[in-house]
Amino acid sequence: MATFTLNAEKRERAGKGAARATRRAGRVPAVVYGDNKEPIMISVVPLELKKLIQTGGFFSHLVEINVDGKGHRVIARDIQLDPVTDRPIHVDFMRVSKGHTIAVNIPLHFINELAAPGIKRGGVLNAVRHEVELNVDPDNIPEFIEIDLTGLDINDSVHISNVKLPAGSAPTITDRDFTIATIAAPSGMKAEAAQEGEEEGGEE
Amino acid sequence: MLSPKRTKFRKAHKGRIHGKAKGGYTLNFGSFGLKATSPERVTARQIESARRAITRHMKRAGRVWIRIFPDVPVSQKPAEVRQGKGKGAPEYWACRVKPGRIMFEIDGVSREVAKRAFELADAKLPVSTKFVTRFGEED
C-alpha cells in the first residue's frame, strides 16, 4: 500500500472566523489529532488535496503530512464537503502509531458479475454496502476487497462470512453476519410475479 | 404520483426556500446521483416525469431511488375568481428542494447510461442540476 504525501502549514487561530479566513486565503483548514498528543491545526492546498481524493482510497491510505518541516504519519478520518460545490471545507487527520490496529472503511469491488446467473437473467446487483469497516494493521491496509459473484442467482445474497478477508484484518461488526450485497429481481419480473399472484388469488 | 397518505392540515403557507441543503447531500444508496444546484419547488408531476425518463432510458435495468418527497400542498384559486373569499383549494403536491439536495440515485447501470438518464431527467425538472458520483471518483 502506497503512502500519500501532503504539505501543510500550521494555523494559529481556532474557530469558524479563523477557518473562514483560511478558506478566503485559498487554503483548506484541517486538523491533526490522536496518539495522546496535542492536536495541531493546519491548512493544506486544495489542489494537492483534490489530487489525493481523486487517486481513490483517500480514507484507506496512510498520509505523510509535512508541517513546517516536521513529518506526521496520519490517516484521513473525515472530510467535510460543500453541499453544492462538493469542494472540501475541512479535513480531519488522525495520527497513526505503530503497534495499534485501526478501524478503516475498505472499499468493496464486485467481480465476475457476468458469471452470476441471476444477473444474466436480468437481476440487479443491490450493493447493501459499498465499503466494509475492518480492524487492520495501519501498515497493511488492503486497497480493496473483492467480492466474487460467481454462481449467485436472483434473491441470493453475500454475507461477510462468505468473504475472504486479508490476513490480520477482522470486521468491526462481530455480533451478526451482515449482508454485503443481494441479487434483486428486476422490476419487470416483480410486476409479473405480482400479477400471477393476483390471478391465482382471483381464481380461488 | 407521490403524495402523502394523510396530513395534519389541508393547506400550507407558501414558504420560501433559504440556504443550502442540511442533509441528503451525499449518495446513500446508488453509485450515481442527480444533485440540485438551485432552490425551487418541485412538483409531484415533475418528479414522476423525471423518474419515467430515467427508467425508460435505463430500459428497466438497474435501480432508481427517489430521495425527495412532495409533502407541501399547493393551492390555487379557480379561473376568473375575484381576490379574497379565502384560500383556494389544494391542487397539487410539491417538495421544497434546496441546493445540494440529491434528488435521484441510480445503481446497476454504466456511467454513460446513468449520465444520459439524468440529462433526460434534468429536462423535466425546474432546478439546475449536476451529476454526482461516489466520493473519490471523478465526476
Q: Determine whether the interchain pair B135/A58 forms a contact, defined as Cβ–Cβ distance below 8 Å.
A: yes
Angstrom distance (rounded) from CA B55 to CA B66: 12
- Domain stop point among A67, A95, A123: A95
Chain A contact probe: residue of B17, B18, B25 with most A CBs at under 10 A = B25
Q: In CATH, what number is assigned to the domain containing residue A82?
A: 2.40.240.10
What sign results for the dihedral spanned by CA atoms A55, A61, A66, A67? positive
Read off the pLDDT band of A184 (50, 70, 90).
confident
Q: Determine whether the interchain pair A184/B99 forms a contact, defined as Cβ–Cβ distance below 8 Å.
A: no
Q: What is the pLDDT of residues B80-90, one digit of tens each?
A: 999 999 999 99
Read off the pLDDT band of A190 (50, 70, 90).
low
- Return the residue of A nearest to B55 by Cα: A187
At residue B137, does pLDDT exceed 80?
no
- Domain stop point among A73, A95, A117: A95
Q: What is the pLDDT of residues A27-79, one digit of tens each?
A: 999 999 998 999 999 999 999 999 988 888 888 889 999 998 889 999 999 99
- Domain stop point among A63, A95, A127: A95
At residue B98, does pLDDT exceed 50?
yes
Per the structure, the count of domains in chain A is: 2
Q: In CATH, what number is assigned to the domain containing residue A136?
A: 2.170.120.20
Q: Determine whether the interchain pair B20/A125 forms a contact, defined as Cβ–Cβ distance below 8 Å.
A: no
Q: A190 and A139 in one domain?
A: yes
Q: Determine whether the interchain pair A83/B62 forms a contact, defined as Cβ–Cβ distance below 8 Å.
A: no
Residue A204: the pLDDT is 42
Scan residues 43-72 of A and list those with Cβ closer than 8 Å to B: 53-54, 56-58
Q: A87 and A12 in one domain?
A: yes
Q: Tell me the three-class secondary structure of B36-82, residue by residue.
A: ECCCEEEEHHHHHHHHHHHHHHCCCCCEEEECCCCCEEEEECCCCCC
Residue A196: the pLDDT is 62
Selecting from A53, A86, A186 the residue whose C-beta is nearest the C-beta of B60 gives A186
Q: Could you give the domains of chain B?
A: 41-76+90-133 (3.90.1170.10)
Selecting from B20, B107, B134 the residue whose C-beta is nearest the C-beta of A84 gives B20
Residue A9: the pLDDT is 93
Kindly give, in sequence order, each residue whose CB lies less than 8 Å from that of residue B70, ignoring residues fewer than 6 positions away.
B2, B3, B42, B43, B44, B47, B92, B93, B94, B95
Q: Is B105 exposed, middle or buried (0-12, 13-18, 19+ CB in 10 A)?
A: buried
At residue A2, does pLDDT exceed 50?
yes
- Give the lowest-confidence range in B22-26, B97-101, B117-121, B132-136: B132-136
Scan for cell 500550521, then name that residue: A10
- Give the lowest-confidence range in B10-14, B16-20, B133-137: B133-137
Angstrom distance (rounded) from CA A158 to CA A178: 9
Provide the grid cell at A79.
Answer: 472530510
Q: Quote the mean pLDDT of chain A.
A: 87
Kindly give, in sequence order, each residue whose CB lies less than 8 Å from that of residue B58, ignoring residues fewer than 6 positions away.
B64, B106, B109, B113, B114, B117
Spell A41-63 as b/e; 16+ CB within 10 A means b. Answer: bbbbeeeebeebbeeebbbbbbb
User: Does A120 touch chain B if contact means CB atoms closer than 8 Å?
Assistant: no
Selecting from B35, B100, B108 the residue whose C-beta is nearest the C-beta of A125 gives B108
Q: Determine whether the interchain pair B60/A187 forms a contact, defined as Cβ–Cβ distance below 8 Å.
A: yes
Angstrom distance (rounded) from CA B127 to CA B139: 19
Domain that holds residue A172: 102-203
Q: A66 and A107 in one domain?
A: no
What sign results for the dihedral spanned by CA atoms B104, B107, B108, B113? positive
Q: What is the pLDDT of residues B57-75, one digit of tens each?
A: 998 678 899 999 999 999 9
Q: A144 and A88 in one domain?
A: no
Read off the pLDDT band of A194 (50, 70, 90).
low
Q: Determine whether the interchain pair A54/B62 forms a contact, defined as Cβ–Cβ distance below 8 Å.
A: no
- Give the lowest-confidence range in A124-133, A194-203, B48-57: A194-203
Q: Determine whether the interchain pair B61/A184 forms a contact, defined as Cβ–Cβ distance below 8 Å.
A: no
Does residue A177 contact residue A194 with C-beta atoms inside 8 Å? Answer: no
The DSSP secondary-structure symbol of A86 reads -
At residue B3, does pLDDT exceed 90?
yes
The one-letter code for the residue type at A33 is Y
- Provide the CA A29 distance to its chain's centre, in angstroms: 22
The residue-averaged pLDDT of A84-103 equals 91
Which residues on B lie below 8 Å from A187 (Cβ)?
55, 60
Long-range Cβ contact pairs of A128-132 (< 8 A, separation 24 or more): A128/A178, A128/A179, A128/A180, A128/A181, A128/A182, A129/A178, A129/A179, A129/A180, A129/A181, A130/B31, A130/B134, A131/A105, A131/A106, A131/A107, A132/A105, A132/A106, A132/A108, A132/A160, A132/A163, A132/A171, A132/A180
Q: A69 and A35 in one domain?
A: yes
A&B contacts, CB < 8 Å: 51
A204 CA: distance to closest CA in chain B (Å): 31
Q: A141 and A88 in one domain?
A: no
Scan for cell 462470512, then name that residue: A161
Residue A198: the pLDDT is 58
The DSSP secondary-structure symbol of A58 reads G
A76 DSSP β-pair partners: A93
